[in-house]
Amino acid sequence: MSSKILTEPRIEDPDDFYARLIAIHEGLNSEESQQLNSKLILLMANHIGDREVLDEALDIARNVQP
Amino acid sequence: MRYVRQIYPFNRPAELDSEERTHVPVIIVGAGPIGMAMAVDLASHGIRSIILDDDNKVSIGSRAICWSKRALEVMDRLGCGERMLDKGVTWNLGKVFFGERKEPIYGFNMLEEKGQQFPGFINLQQYYVEEYLIEAIEKQDLTDIRWESEVIAVQQSNNGATVSVSTPAGHYELDCDYVIAADGSRSPVRKMLGFEFDGETFQDHFLIADIRMKAEFPTERWFWFDPSFNRGQSALLHKQPDDVWRLDFQLGWDIDREAELKPESVSKRIRAMLGEELEFDFEWVSIYTFQCRQMERFVHDRIIFVGDAAHLVSPFGARGANSGLQDVDNLGWKLALILNGKAPASLLQSYNDERVSAARENILNSTRATDFITPKSEFSRIFRDAALELARDFEFARRFVNSGRLSVACIHHDSKLNVADLDVFNCKLVPGSPSIDAPVKVNGSQSWFLKLIGQQFTGVYFAKDGETTLQGATALLQDSIPVKTIVISNTSETETSVVEDHKGLLQQRLDAQVGSYYLFRPDQHLVARWRKFDPHAVREAVLHATMQPASGDSA
């Protein structure tokens, strides 16, 4: 199966994005952070729109092992 | 081979036995790598200085070990680069480990472009670098280095400063035009003058153990997140010359410092990391906390701060001594022009602006690395571990993994000394960047581009076939601030002084065409570039880069 999801680096200044991603969780408890993450995922999923890409992302996230 | 530290004797200075006051252009406080490099740089511009240091030997322990490509290029201009390269351990590769896995999750290369004299990094104990600088100081007679000489007061006046010195043989005073404080993170000069050093201390401890052992690990930077031998923490392994290895263990905040420093507990950690049978000797053991701090301004009239005295970062990223050497590179030529009456004192403002902004960038990078290595919240840790898990398979996730963004040359994008491009150039080099290196031939012999530019303003001209000189370039050499011109050709011209870009890499890296002309500052940063040489424009650019008013439309 050919892969449709883009996994090469695409975000300009990833350090800055990562710092912002962490910063928006500041002051939240665990439940609130999970809520925030869930909203983020739904927003991003809707933006992506493409079911094939979304299904691939779900599989990777579930199956990647440390 | 075990390193033998030399004691540098106190010599009774003439001032103790004379009523006459000594005046010297520059007094440098602190004979660390930055203070000494500063003296050598000033001497290279013909400026005399006295270095005062309260100690009588080079640094104890390896301390700074990672020297960046840019730092080596600066040290090469000061005559120490090749020695550092010869003695140091060259490395370009880093590997990142995570959790129980024995295999790294990925590796990275620090040197993106080949064909440069210096590698991405070398590792070399700080005391060697200090020794090389002491020798460079002894080779010329413009620097007077005074050991066991503690600065106890600094007083500014309208046109200079007075420094009070305490020695084993008594007190004396020295007058100077400028004081450069290179007296380290605890800077006594900064404290005496009451300047703030704002920032944060991170709630974490790290144990450095430099050990001597015979080991076959490759010369790479190995970094562990959450390894089995240091659960929940990080660790680092790095090779230095003389079979010395740097081990760095994160310990966390709640520790018993005394207990952790005991040789038996350090040995236990080392054996858990590298094997129970390991034979080794201690070279240096130390526990430290991270701090990120900087002064609001580095220039306070006649007192100028450089290195750790001005800015302090966490060690991950190797942005301490490497940024200090870039301070030196930036300040030396400016101060020399001012002291020689060729540029206004306001040129120092550009040292302040360029290096304060460089320090902010370093602190930002260092803080982010620290936050990644030591997540401040549970959620931050979960994100970190997710990035690490994805990093094994996906390049995009590696960009989030931060075990220290290692020091690269600072680009002064917003410097007032830059001249904005009027012509179009398509390359990484922009006004404010230090030039990238490239192999060239001089009189038929292999050399490097960065050896040819710098020290004074340098123009680089890309010649037509058969062209060996540039009309109008000789006159630039006669100016109050002279500009030397280097003529680059892609053909072999062994009988002339033309520099040959035999691999075409320089042309490529500078996006040069026939006729292109580049003006570099004495610290090798690009001021301006044109598709066509115009001596008037070059003169205006030199005035601009030295904070002098334009000459007006005389052309």
- Convert the pLDDT of each residue in B424-445 to its tens digit: 999 999 999 999 999 999 988 9
ipTM more than 0.90? yes
Flag the least confident range among B12-26, B42-56, B212-226: B212-226
Mode of pairing for the β-strands spanning B445-448 and B439-442: antiparallel
Domain edges within chain A? 29-66
Mode of pairing for the β-strands spanning B22-29 and B89-91: unpaired
**Total of domains in chain B:** 2
One domain, residues B318 and B462? no
Query: Contacts of residue A9 in chain B, CB cutoff 8 Å?
Result: 395-396, 398-399
Separation of alpha carbons B335 and B160, rounded Å: 13
Three-state DSSP string of B203-250 = CCEEEEEEEECCCCCCCCEEEEECCHHHCCCEEEEEEECCCEEEEEEE
Contacts of A55 (CB under 8 A, 6+ apart): none
- Residue from A3, A21, A25 to probe the interface with B (highest B Cβ count within 10 Å): A25
* In the predicted structure, residue B298 carries a pLDDT above the cut 70: yes
Q: Taking CB atoms and an 8 Å limit, are A11 and B396 in contact across chains? A: yes
Residue B366's alpha-carbon distances to B139, B207, B249, B310, B444, in angstroms, are 37, 18, 17, 16, 44
CB pairs under 8 A between A and B: 59
Given a contact cutoff of 8 angstroms between Cβ atoms, the answer to whether B293 and B199 are in contact is: yes
Given a contact cutoff of 8 angstroms between Cβ atoms, the answer to whether B510 and B427 are in contact is: yes
Q: Which residue has the tokens 């000033």?
A: B42
A18/B contact by beta carbon, under 8 A: yes
Q: Nearest C-alpha of chain B: how many angstroms from A27?
A: 9
A23/B contact by beta carbon, under 8 A: no
Q: Does a structural domain hold residue B366?
A: no
- Of B313, B331, B346, the one marking the end of a domain is B346
Q: Taking CB atoms and an 8 Å limit, are B368 and A15 in contact across chains? A: yes
DSSP 8-state secondary structure symbol assigned to residue B456: B
Q: Give the CATH number for residue B323.
A: 3.50.50.60
Q: Does a structural domain hold residue B262?
A: no
- Of B280, B315, B346, the one marking the end of a domain is B346
Mean pLDDT of chain B: 94
Q: Does a structural domain hold residue B143?
A: yes
Q: Nearest C-alpha of chain B: how many angstroms from A47?
A: 19
Query: Contacts of residue A28 in chain B, CB cutoff 8 Å?
Result: 379
Q: Nearest C-alpha of chain B: how many angstroms from A16?
A: 9
* In the predicted structure, residue B87 carries a pLDDT above the cut 70: yes
Contacts of B366 (CB under 8 A, 6+ apart): B290, B292, B313, B314, B316, B317, B319, B404
Q: Rounded to the nearest 10 degrees, what angle do helices B33-44 and B69-77 cross at?
A: 40
* In the predicted structure, residue B1 carries a pLDDT above the cut 70: no
Residue B502 Ramachandran class (φ > 0 left, ψ -120 to 50 alpha, else beta): alpha
The pLDDT score that the predictor gives to residue B492 is: 65
The pLDDT score that the predictor gives to residue B429 is: 96
One domain, residues B163 and B29? yes
Measure CB to CB from residue B379 to each of A33, A64, A65 and give the nearest one.
A33
One domain, residues B342 and B451? no
Given a contact cutoff of 8 angstroms between Cβ atoms, the answer to whether B11 and B146 are in contact is: yes
The pLDDT score that the predictor gives to residue B139 is: 95
At residue B233, what is the residue type? Answer: Q
Q: In terms of pLDDT, which residue wins out, B381 or B491?
A: B381
Is the Cα torsion angle B421, B424, B430, B434 positive or negative in sign?
negative
The pLDDT score that the predictor gives to residue B110 is: 77
| Domain hosting residue B161, numbered range | 14-86+120-196+294-346
The pLDDT score that the predictor gives to residue B555 is: 41
* In the predicted structure, residue B53 carries a pLDDT above the cut 90: yes
Q: Is B31 exposed, middle or buried (0-12, 13-18, 19+ CB in 10 A)?
A: buried
Given a contact cutoff of 8 angstroms between Cβ atoms, the answer to whether B111 and B17 are in contact is: no
- Of B313, B330, B346, the one marking the end of a domain is B346
The pLDDT score that the predictor gives to residue B250 is: 96
Q: Rounded to the nearest 10 degrees, what angle do helices A14-23 and B378-391 cross at?
A: 150
Separation of alpha carbons B214 and B409, rounded Å: 34
Radius of gyration, CA atoms only, chain B: 25
A45/B contact by beta carbon, under 8 A: no
The pLDDT score that the predictor gives to residue B59 is: 85
Given a contact cutoff of 8 angstroms between Cβ atoms, the answer to whether B335 and B345 are in contact is: no
- Convert the pLDDT of each residue in B331-353 to its tens digit: 999 999 999 999 999 999 999 99
Q: Nearest C-alpha of chain A: how many angstroms from B388?
A: 8
The pLDDT score that the predictor gives to residue B282 is: 94
Q: Taking CB atoms and an 8 Å limit, are B402 and A18 in contact across chains? A: yes
The pLDDT score that the predictor gives to residue B554 is: 46
The pLDDT score that the predictor gives to residue B6 is: 86
Q: Rounded to the nearest 10 degrees, what angle do helices B321-339 and B69-77 cross at?
A: 30
Q: Give the CATH number for residue B500.
A: 3.40.30.120
At residue A34, what is the residue type? Answer: Q
Mean pLDDT of B297-302: 97
Query: Contacts of residue A66 in chain B, CB cutoff 8 Å?
Result: 98-101, 385, 388-389, 392
Mean pLDDT of B172-176: 98
Q: Taking CB atoms and an 8 Å limit, are A15 and B365 in contact across chains? A: yes
**Token pair of B359 as six digits:** 């320090």
Measure CB to CB from residue B383 to each of A7, A22, A30 and give the nearest one.
A22
Q: Does a structural domain hold residue B285?
A: no
Q: Nearest C-alpha of chain A: how many angstroms from B103?
A: 11
The pLDDT score that the predictor gives to residue B207 is: 96
- Residue from B366, B381, B400 to probe the interface with A (highest A Cβ count within 10 Å): B400
The pLDDT score that the predictor gives to residue B496 is: 61
A8/B contact by beta carbon, under 8 A: yes
Measure CB to CB from residue B400 to each of A8, A14, A60 and give the nearest one.
A14
One domain, residues B309 and B445? no
Q: Nearest C-alpha of chain A: how many angstroms from B410?
A: 16
pTM: 0.94
Percent of chain B with pLDDT over 70: 97
Percent of chain B with pLDDT over 90: 85
**Token pair of B291 as six digits:** 């701090």
- Convert the pLDDT of each residue in A4-63 to its tens digit: 999 999 999 999 999 999 999 999 999 999 999 999 999 999 999 999 999 999 999 998
